[in-house]
Amino acid sequence: MIARIWHGKTKASDAETYLEYLFKSGIPAYRTTTGNKGAWVLRRMDGDVAHFTTLSFWESRDAIAAFAGPDIEVAKYYPEDEKYLLEFEPTVMHYELFQ
């Protein structure tokens, strides 16, 4: 299994709205892709900035590619992200998961 981790940040004042947006855009896209084993959002408030991390689990790199495209290292963004995100990190991180 592979864990995929994405990070983004918004103004703290946009934190609730962006959280709602994540659950209308990226999280459903993760969860409905064949091979996805779950997806969660973590949020950390840091003064005027809200940090968001999405954590998703996948059965294979091919399953991730079905969601993210052929270069699975590239971060995937949605149209309204431009309204909220303070920057666009170009890549995500992947880890092999062991039990």
Is 13's pLDDT higher than 90?
Answer: yes
**Please, which pLDDT band fits residue 19 given cuts at 50, 70 and 90?**
very high
Domain coverage including residue 79: 2-96
Provide the CATH number for the domain around residue 55. 3.30.70.100
The pLDDT, as a whole number, for residue 99 is 86
Span 53-93, pLDDT tens digits: 999 999 999 999 999 999 999 999 999 999 999 999 999 99
Q: Give the chain's domain count.
A: 1
Mean of the per-residue pLDDT values of the chain: 97
The pLDDT, as a whole number, for residue 71 is 98
Query: pTM score > 0.85 for this model?
Result: yes
CA gap 9, 17 in Å, rounded: 13
For residue 30, give the 3-state DSSP assignment: helix
User: Residue 70 burial (CB < 10 Å; 0-12/13-18/19+)?
Assistant: exposed
CA gap 77, 99 in Å, rounded: 31
